[in-house]
Amino acid sequence: MAYERVATNLPAGLADDCFKAKPSHARSKRRARCIVPVAVVCTFLITLNAAVALLLIQLNQPHFVVFDMKGTVDAFIDQSVQRPLSSEQKENVSKRFNRALEDSLREYQFNHHALVLVKPAVISGADDITPAIQQSIAARMRDSSNE
């Protein structure tokens, strides 16, 4: 490899040292020593990134559950028809029931990171939380009647 001397102010020996081509085998050995550790670090970082991404996806994925809304409302209506209440009391109890139902579903959804679907919308494969929600509604109704 021949290079022209460009810098004229440099002494002849120094300029010759600056423009000498290094043997290609010395550069390739140094490059080979660097490539392996860099490749290992890059592979480790990509693997770590994939693991963190999978973990975040698993943690943020909602759990699907079903709730028998119709059965719960029908049971409430059956129970309220059996009790002799004035129209004002019935309206009051209905509002308390509606509030208890919404609060119970919202609380379950938040605490379990779940997506609550009505029972007719799901064929199979989802957990039924109807008994747990009905117990929560009953407890809330008891608590609100004591206030």
Q: Is the pLDDT of residue 86 over 70?
A: yes
> What is the pLDDT, as a whole number, of residue 1?
46
Give the containing element (helix H, strand E) for 118.
strand 114-118
Instruction: Mark out the alpha helices in 1-147 (DSSP H runs).
Output: 12-19, 24-60, 69-82, 87-112, 130-146
- Global pTM exceeds 0.95: no
> At a CB cut-off of 8 Å and minimum separation 6, what does 5 contact?
12, 15, 16, 19
Nearest of 13, 138, 126 to residue 63 by alpha carbon? 126
31-63 residue pLDDT tens: 777 888 888 999 999 999 999 999 998 888 888
65-84 residue pLDDT tens: 999 999 999 998 888 888 88
